[in-house]
């Protein structure tokens, strides 16, 4: 099968959608399919996979409580049209088609089998509310809809008056299970891990720092290992000195080093405060066999089996977070139980399983398309 996948967000900036697109593309390639991914980005983007076609530099647009790097306009439309023509795809799979992006342009231009995955769980989206009528003619062209969670499906139902099959995000389980810790880890005094943009409020660093402030007086060697982007100097300047001295900022890391980082910490903390539709990082920590403490977001509770595969605490409650972190750090038997439960819970999310569900949606979309399927095909590029 010839499959075109459209990523709306800039390829050179790490994010959950970009990671999902990358892993899906590679899972499809492993099964022998021909795959091309179109994404914003420059041709000189470092370590660009061979299957990615860049469509030029993106612009920063506030979206979903963050700043997304998207691409839209006449020049972008020309590039989308050329990519569709050259790809001659059996099916085109766009991600997050609602924002002004390459995905929306593909919906406007493409006339063949079209599948969309919706990731966002923000039901009170100003953009979607303003765009319901505008987007409807293009999103009605979709022959298949996927939501990564029940929360993302709710967005589709409420804003688009349509439905979707729920297929969760995937994780390459063995990539994390087989990773080796970073040099010098694990440390004797215990290490808490955090991955994400630490200066983005909804990621919850403002909840985690006060929790650590409560813990450090009795734990002289406790460390916080952080992987992700942010304004380091500004962030550290606002952290109490007792905690600041315990923080190690790794900056933006590769997928290889992210797996090693998760193997290096004694507990992974997800203190997020909202607007999360799933929780891929939790799956990655589960696959790395790292105990988890996470906020009680609905998306996180589903992934963690309501608290069976990870400890939960009330959203925004630093004191409760401190108690749960201390409990996990101090109780080896609890850590073993959490790891064993997580190892079982993560199995259905392995890409080897998830990709088969996505392929079934492709097959249904192709079967339901009105265009004949026996038109001449081009050979692999």
- Token digits of residue 149: 């969670």
pLDDT at res. 56: 74
pLDDT digits (tens, 9 = 90+) for 156-199: 787 777 889 999 999 999 999 999 999 999 898 899 999 999 98
Torsion, Cα 11 13 17 19, to 10 degrees, reads 80
Q: Nearest Cα to 324, choosing from 254, 269, 361?
A: 269
pLDDT at res. 296: 96
pLDDT at res. 377: 45
Q: Which of 15-19, 40-44, 238-242 has the lowest mean pLDDT?
A: 40-44
pLDDT digits (tens, 9 = 90+) for 243-259: 999 999 999 898 999 99
Using 50, 70 and 90 to split pLDDT, how confident is the model at 134? low
Burial class (CB in 10 A: 0-12, 13-18, 19+), 1: middle
pLDDT at res. 286: 97
pLDDT at res. 66: 54
Using 50, 70 and 90 to split pLDDT, how confident is the model at 369? confident
* Sheet hosting strand 247-251, strand order edge to edge: 247-251, 223-227, 191-195, 267-270, 292-295, 311-313
Pairing of strands 59-63, 66-70: antiparallel
Q: Nearest Cα to 271, choosing from 199, 338, 206?
A: 206
pLDDT at res. 132: 57
pLDDT at res. 262: 98
Q: How large is the average pLDDT for residues 326-331? A: 97
C-alpha 21 chain-centroid distance? 9
Pairing of strands 91-95, 66-70: unpaired
Are 242 and 273 in contact by the 8 Å Cβ rule? The answer is: no
User: If you average pLDDT over every residue of the chain, what do you get?
Assistant: 88
Predicted TM-score of the model (pTM): 0.81
pLDDT digits (tens, 9 = 90+) for 143-158: 999 999 887 888 778 7
Using a pLDDT cut of 70, give the percent of the chain over it.
88
Using 50, 70 and 90 to split pLDDT, how confident is the model at 122? low
Pairing of strands 66-70, 165-166: unpaired
Query: Cβ of 233: how many Cβ atoms within 10 Å?
Result: 8
Domains of the chain: 2-170+350-368 (3.40.50.2000), 173-347 (3.40.50.2000)
The pLDDT of residue 97 is above 60: yes
pLDDT at res. 317: 98
Using 50, 70 and 90 to split pLDDT, how confident is the model at 276? confident
pLDDT at res. 131: 53
- Token digits of residue 133: 């009528």
More confident residue, 129 or 288: 288
């Amino acid at each position: 099968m010839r499959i075109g996948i459209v990523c709306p967000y800039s390829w050179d900036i790490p994010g959950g959608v970009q990671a999902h697109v990358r892993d899906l593309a590679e899972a499809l390639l492993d099964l022998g399919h021909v795959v091309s991914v179109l994404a914003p980005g420059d041709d000189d983007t470092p370590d660009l996979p061979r299957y990615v076609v860049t469509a030029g530099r993106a612009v920063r647009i506030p979206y979903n409580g963050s700043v997304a790097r998207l691409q839209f306009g006449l020049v972008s439309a020309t590039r989308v049209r050329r990519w569709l023509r050259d790809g001659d795809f059996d099916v085109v799979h766009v991600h997050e088609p609602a924002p002004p992006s390459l995905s929306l342009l593909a919906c406007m231009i493409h006339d063949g089998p079209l599948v969309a995955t919706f990731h966002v769980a923000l039901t009170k989206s100003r953009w979607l509310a303003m765009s319901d009528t505008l987007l409807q003619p293009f999103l009605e062209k979709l022959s298949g809809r996927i939501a990564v969670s029940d929360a993302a499906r709710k967005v589709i139902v409420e804003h688009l008056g349509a439905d979707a099959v729920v297929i969760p995000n995937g994780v390459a389980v063995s990539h994390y299970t087989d990773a080796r810790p970073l040099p010098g880890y694990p440390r004797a005094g215990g290490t808490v891990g955090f991955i994400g943009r630490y200066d983005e409020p909804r990621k919850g660093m403002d909840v985690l720092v006060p929790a650590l402030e409560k813990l450090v007086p009795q734990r002289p060697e406790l460390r916080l290992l952080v992987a992700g982007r942010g304004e380091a100097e500004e962030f550290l300047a606002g952290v109490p000195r007792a905690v600041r001295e315990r923080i190690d900022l790794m900056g933006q890391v590769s997928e290889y080093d992210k797996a090693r980082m998760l193997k290096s910490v004694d507990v992974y903390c997800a203190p997020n405060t909202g607007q999360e539709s799933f929780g891929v990082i939790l799956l990655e920590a589960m696959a790395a066999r790292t105990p988890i403490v996470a906020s009680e977001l609905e998306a996180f509770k589903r992934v963690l089996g309501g608290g069976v595969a990870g400890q939960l605490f009330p959203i925004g409650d630093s004191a409760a977070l401190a108690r749960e972190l201390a409990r996990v750090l101090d109780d080896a038997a609890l850590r073993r139980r959490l790891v064993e439960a997580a190892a079982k819970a993560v199995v259905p999310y392995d890409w080897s399983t998830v990709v088969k569900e996505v392929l079934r949606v492709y097959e249904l979309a192709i079967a339901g398309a009105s265009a004949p399927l026996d038109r001449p095909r081009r050979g692999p590029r």
